[in-house]
């Protein structure tokens, strides 16, 4: 009995460590994107994209997490300090990734959308299978196709606001 409790506690400890892991590659990507933007003279685009992503991500979470309960964050509960310190910047980095890379991909829009969606889906969802930083209350049959309008929407909002700012 004591041995099984020890194993359960050890597994829980490992799970807690793994759940926080996904944030480090995301923040490293953010730093790479900032240096990339600085070197290309695109810091304005990076800032606009980050702000759009952070605010848009918060609005999506207000709808998807708070209202519809489609997903929830296991380590950073909605509206907690860790949520604002980790999840909101991750949304901004997500938007920076979409918008700073979009024009660099030399393919038609549908191919660019597909490549970015596949890449971002892989970067976020595959590690999340292990870390469970967020969990869905809907089937993956809903989640997977939902990534296309997510990426497309981030791009369209950026294109709408960037000339105005």
Q: Is 146 exposed, middle or buried (0-12, 13-18, 19+ CB in 10 A)?
A: middle
pLDDT of amino acid 13? 47
pLDDT at 23: 64
Which pLDDT does position 35 carry in this prediction? Answer: 83
Whole-number pLDDT of residue 112: 96
pLDDT of residue 18: 46
Give the pLDDT of residue 22.
59
Could you report the per-residue pLDDT of 68-111, keeping only the tens digit for each?
999 999 988 999 998 998 899 989 999 999 999 998 999 999 99
SS3 27: helix
Quote the pLDDT of residue 126. Answer: 87
What is the reported pLDDT for 29?
A: 74
- Beta-bridged to residue 73, according to DSSP, are 134
**pLDDT at residue 39, as a whole number:** 82
Q: How much is the pLDDT for 32?
A: 83
Q: What is the largest CA-CA distance in the chain?
A: 65
pLDDT at 66: 96
Q: How many helices (H) and strands (E) does the chain have?
A: 7, 2
pLDDT lower than 50: segments of the chain: 1, 3-5, 7-19
Displacement of CA 11 from its chain's centroid (Å): 26
pTM of the complete model: 0.81
Residue 11: its pLDDT value, please? 43
Supply the DSSP string of 55-108, one letter for each residue: HHHHHHHIIIIIIS--EEESSS-TTSHHIIIIIHHHHHHHHHHHHHHHTTS-S-
What is the CB-side half-sphere exposure of residue 70 using CA atoms within 13 A?
Answer: 13
Q: What is the pLDDT of residue 95?
A: 94
């Amino acid at each position: 009995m004591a041995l099984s409790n020890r194993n359960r506690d050890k597994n829980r400890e490992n799970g807690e460590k793994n759940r926080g892991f996904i944030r480090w590659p995301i923040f490293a990507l953010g730093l790479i994107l900032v240096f990339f933007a600085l070197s290309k003279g695109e810091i304005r685009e990076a800032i606009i994209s980050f702000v759009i992503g952070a605010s848009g991500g918060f609005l999506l979470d207000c709808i998807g997490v708070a209202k519809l309960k489609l997903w929830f964050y296991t380590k950073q509960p909605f509206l907690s300090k860790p949520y604002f310190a980790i999840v909101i910047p991750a949304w901004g980095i997500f938007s920076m990734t979409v918008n700073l890379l979009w024009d660099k991909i030399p393919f038609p829009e549908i191919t660019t959308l597909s490549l970015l969606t596949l890449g971002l889906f892989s970067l976020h969802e595959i590690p999340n299978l292990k870390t469970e930083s967020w969990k869905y209350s809907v089937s993956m049959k809903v989640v997977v196709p939902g990534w296309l309008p997510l990426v497309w929407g981030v791009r369209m909002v950026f294109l709408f606001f960037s000339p105005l700012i």
